[in-house]
Structure 1
Amino acid sequence: MDPFNKLPVELRVQVLIHTYSRHSMLQVAQASPAMLGGYSSSRTYLTRMLVETNLDHGMMKDAMAIVLFPPWDESDTYRSMVESHLHVWAAQKMPNPIEKQNLRVIDQLDRLRSRLLLFIGDYLTKAMAVFPPREYLCLPTLSSTQAHTTFKDQIVSARFDTANLTDAEKKRLLRAFLRYELLSKILNPQNQGIVHLDWDALYKYSGQWYHPSEQEALKCVEQYLASLYGAMLAQCGDSWLPETPSSNILSPSCVTSTELLYPDTLYFNAEAYASDLGLRILANDLHFGGPIGGSVSNSITLAYLGFGLATTLVRSAISGKDGRDYLKQWFIDWYRSREERLLYYNSPLIGLVLPPELDQKEHCQEGPGMYQELSRRTSNPSSWEQEAIYRQRAWAFFDDARCYPSLSTPSHFPTLQELKMQSDAMQAAPYSSKWAHARALRRSQKWHDEQLGRFFVDQQDEEPQRLTLEMFFQPLLPWDIHERHFGELAPFWQ
């Protein structure tokens, strides 16, 4: 007997609203015919309530600016359309579809919200993992019903359920993901040289500067996007999916002859997997991919382009071996093109500035609880290595540590001293002069198979049947690696 049969329809709808997520609503509806009836008859109202609950005033304006962003074209009016659109956004005068009951736009906002929550769930699956470098090798399924991560068509982990977030945590994450996507649209390569705006006005909201924790949240989103490209590169090649270590990876005694080596034990480096594919990268990118001499890694450069291109490429990566073969060739072409043409894209974060009177010591006095606590551990300024690791752990979003593995596990948020000990141990290793090569071997599935006495016919060097693959996968990917075609992609939330 269905216990919800006794409730009037109005109460059934209220129960669904208080699940606070579409995924939870569907779970309840699948378990109860009565709730399914309530869901079906009130779907439009429930959609509106989800949008209204998840997006505050500022987030609604950002989301509207994304959904209504002028589609790219080569006409003379495009520049004026974009500038007009962004001035309306900066003035906080975007229309409110809830007030106007614009059902078509509300549906678009709900789709955008849902797709970003999917990526947020994927990010947190990786950030909260006992061994993040393993999870960061995986890609999300782009489905709300198949909520898991995959590695080369193998299901690995259930996706983090964003219903477990507090309202404040969910809003921080959605705000950062929305804002990064909007800023990436503003600074998309197709707009370079034609859009000229007052950046001070655009980066302020109601006269407020970005707080340090808000800036850090945007940098976390950028790091996550770069890691998606790393997972795609890894799955296009001979990468090995490691098991979760059974002991503290910061202890030298725990490193066996076959496990990953530092810094791969702590930080998922997209450029290392690009190097494993034979793509040319900067030497510094093999360590932590940090900026040196003004250079920026290729994966970070791709992250500048936002979620549109990333979603398109992920679809190909999770479409089986043929999809990955075609994607591998796309990456080869793009890396070569960037090298030959010296491609330069603007970071969406290029205009971020702090109030001049804000002292660095104030970093730990504002923001969510985890950010405040961990800011006290970081140096002033903190090292690039430590920042990169903390960003992959989503340190700028959570009220407390309840969702993390036990903080008694030092490897999740290592101190600078612990990182130095790892670096010193690396320098003292007998094969330190060939450390990069030793690391690459540990990332290779073929090498691990050989250690176990398994030998297979090497098919890695076979050229994919490009014409055949293009026939099937060209509709998935930008047909040309020239950046102007990235603006022609369908909205990633559709």
Structure 2
Amino acid sequence: MDPFVSLSPETRARILILLHSEDDMGRLCMASPFMLRYYLHYKAYISREQLSNNLDNDLLQDAMAIIHFPSTRVTPHDEYETAVARHMSRWSHRQFPNPLVTEDRESIVKLGGLFRRLHKYMSDYMAKATSPSIPRAYLCLDNVSKGRSHSIYTHKPFDLNKLNYDEKKRLFQAFLRYELFYKVEHPRVKSEDVMERTRFLAIRGGTKLQKLDLEGIRCVHEYVRSLYGAVLAHCSGVHRPEPEVQMTSRPSHWHFNADLYGSDLGLPGIYTHNTPMLADFGFELISTLIHVATRGEKGRQKAIRWFKSFVHETEPTLKRSTPIPGGLALNFDRPRSRKNDFEKTPGVCQQLFATIRSEEWVGSAYEPSEAALRRSVFRQRAWCLLDDARLYPRSRLSHFPLKQHMKNPSQRKSLCAQLSLTRL
């Protein structure tokens, strides 16, 4: 007998509302046909409660811009540029109606689906960002896949309730705006004309994004890029045999290089510049690849064939999307870096700025390879999202590579070698 039948309607609804991940929702509905029927009947109500508990009006505007983004399947090709420009103008001026107020059932259901899809990735990102060993954590796909990856290292999903209100909003906003911006500058559909116009609307429109907002988007881009690296590692059979890793200051525990694993599959271009381009496709493509690659040996071989097809046939026809200039949006590598850029940033940003820009280091700029590595490490640690270091393995910033870690020549070589083929 289905045990959920005996529960009150209020209890059943509460259980479903608390399941923020689409995978958790799917597992429950698969185990209980009764809960599946209940969910399908009350989907709009459940989605509404989840949205009202987690998204304010600003976040709803970002989400509405995503679910109602012009489709190339519906919009004629010669009208698409105009449609995107008009759509982004509505977003930048915050003109989308709030579906929780207008009782727009269709939009509420779509928003609920978007929320649950992104929630599992946000939880996975924060679990990895706060892990003792970045490379081991970032190799793991189990928390974002219904299948199993080759990595025997697993980590518990991160409870987003550990974040305070401001941290949670930054995280939601970064993921939503990443998804929106890479719909605007999708490698398949953008042209030279639309790139500049939509970039202007998105960044300089009615709602001008701050440097902190832009850096948040780049953090999510780095995370999605790492997912492709994990899929490539899974396809090539890479795993970490040690069951436990103790946090040390060794460079190998600081960074996950997404570009290392394509060469194992005989993909000559995938480890030089393709992972950043793949991350320009948003979450839809990587979700499909993870689903396919972790469905047994047949799925793994299918994913390998796709990567080879992408490198040899698809990639040459695409253009790299660059809606945000390269490098840290919050940049303290240069003497001209302004202190007021960091005055309203989260605590981790301020602490790192104060440390790196202290008098003893002023004028001692990083080498390009060092700066590239540090940018990647900071983003993999979600550096611009947290107010303090309480959630990191140690309640301090010892897991961020600073200038003192570059003094030893052998350590410097080990660090920089990891990013020798990376293009950010």
1:298 to 270, 274, 295: 274
Partners of 2:17 and 2:82 in 1: how far apart?
A: 43
Contact kept, 8 Å, 1:220 with 1:394, in 2: the verdict is yes
2:186: which partner in 1? 188
- Superposed CA deviations along residues 424-443 of structure 1, whole A, max 9, x for unmatched, are 24759xxx9xx89xx9xxxx
2:322 to 324, 347, 354: 347
1:238: which partner in 2? 237
Q: Where do 1:95-110 residues align within 5 Å? A: 95-110=97-112
How far 1:179 sits from its partner (Å)? 0.5
How far 1:13 sits from its partner (Å)? 9.7
Q: Which runs of 5+ in 1 are unaligned?
A: 1-7, 31-35, 252-261, 286-296, 440-494
2:382: which partner in 1? 394
Contact kept, 8 Å, 1:122 with 1:140, in 2: the verdict is no
**Larger of the two Rg values belongs to structure:** 1
1:376 to 354, 358, 364: 354
**SS of match in other structure, 2:178:** helix
Change (3 A) 1:282 1:306: closer
Partners of 1:168 and 1:18 in 2: how far apart?
A: 22
Q: Where do 1:18-57 residues align within 5 Å? A: 21=20, 44-57=44-57
Q: In proportion to residue count, which structure has more helix?
A: 2
Residue identity opposite 1:312 in structure 2: T
Q: Which runs of 5+ in 2 are unaligned?
A: 1-7, 30-34, 331-335
- Superposed CA deviations along residues 329-388 of structure 1, whole A, max 9, x for unmatched, are 21122122367x37422223249989xxx9532243222222222232335766222121
- Superposed CA deviations along residues 15-53 of structure 1, whole A, max 9, x for unmatched, are 879969579x98xx99xxxxx9xx979764342132123
Partners of 2:137 and 2:241 in 1: how far apart?
A: 9
How far 1:244 sits from its partner (Å)? 6.2
Contact kept, 8 Å, 1:133 with 1:266, in 2: the verdict is yes
**SS of match in other structure, 2:154:** strand
Change (3 A) 1:332 1:100: same
Partners of 1:420 and 1:277 in 2: how far apart?
A: 35
**SS of match in other structure, 2:259:** helix
Q: Does 1:266 align with 2:259?
A: no
How far 1:230 sits from its partner (Å)? 0.2
Contact kept, 8 Å, 1:213 with 1:371, in 2: the verdict is no
Partners of 2:411 and 2:87 in 1: how far apart?
A: 54
Contact kept, 8 Å, 1:153 with 1:320, in 2: the verdict is no
1:329 to 302, 305, 320: 305
Change (3 A) 1:416 1:275: farther
Q: Where do 1:247-258 residues align within 5 Å? A: 247-250=246-249
Change (3 A) 1:427 1:51: closer
2:174: which partner in 1? 176
1:122 to 101, 112, 124: 124
User: TM-score normalised to the size of structure 2?
Assistant: 0.77
1:385: which partner in 2? 373
2:67: which partner in 1? 67
Partners of 1:18 and 1:165 in 2: how far apart?
A: 19
- Superposed CA deviations along residues 467-494 of structure 1, whole A, max 9, x for unmatched, are xxxxxxxxxxxxxxxxxxxxxxxxxxxx
**SS of match in other structure, 2:108:** helix
Contact kept, 8 Å, 2:63 with 2:111, in 1: the verdict is yes
- Superposed CA deviations along residues 144-186 of structure 1, whole A, max 9, x for unmatched, are xx7xx94328572222122322222111111011101111001
- Superposed CA deviations along residues 72-108 of structure 1, whole A, max 9, x for unmatched, are 1354333333232222222221122112101111011
Partners of 2:122 and 2:225 in 1: how far apart?
A: 14
How far 1:272 sits from its partner (Å)? 0.9
Aligned length: 386
Partners of 1:71 and 1:207 in 2: how far apart?
A: 24
2:199: which partner in 1? 199
Partners of 1:62 and 1:247 in 2: how far apart?
A: 40
Partners of 1:400 and 1:21 in 2: how far apart?
A: 25
Range with bigger deviation, 167-176 or 77-86 = 77-86
1:275 to 263, 276, 279: 263
How far 1:228 sits from its partner (Å)? 0.5
Residue identity opposite 1:324 in structure 2: R
Considering only aligned residues, what root-mean-square deviation do their CA atoms show, in Å? 4.0
Q: Where do 1:474-493 residues align within 5 Å? A: none
Partners of 1:392 and 1:353 in 2: how far apart?
A: 15
Contact kept, 8 Å, 1:386 with 1:416, in 2: the verdict is no
Change (3 A) 1:43 1:337: closer
1:152: which partner in 2? 150
**SS of match in other structure, 2:260:** helix
Residue identity opposite 2:240 in structure 1: L
Change (3 A) 1:79 1:344: closer
Change (3 A) 1:193 1:385: closer
Partners of 2:173 and 2:192 in 1: how far apart?
A: 28
Contact kept, 8 Å, 1:88 with 1:94, in 2: the verdict is yes
Partners of 1:236 and 1:182 in 2: how far apart?
A: 29
Contact kept, 8 Å, 1:368 with 1:396, in 2: the verdict is yes
Partners of 2:62 and 2:275 in 1: how far apart?
A: 25
Contact kept, 8 Å, 2:374 with 2:401, in 1: the verdict is yes
Partners of 2:351 and 2:17 in 1: how far apart?
A: 31
How far 1:141 sits from its partner (Å)? 4.4
Contact kept, 8 Å, 1:65 with 1:89, in 2: the verdict is yes
Contact kept, 8 Å, 1:270 with 1:299, in 2: the verdict is yes
How far 1:328 sits from its partner (Å)? 1.0
Residue identity opposite 2:301 in structure 1: D
Change (3 A) 1:20 1:204: farther
Change (3 A) 1:205 1:50: farther
Contact kept, 8 Å, 2:356 with 2:403, in 1: the verdict is yes
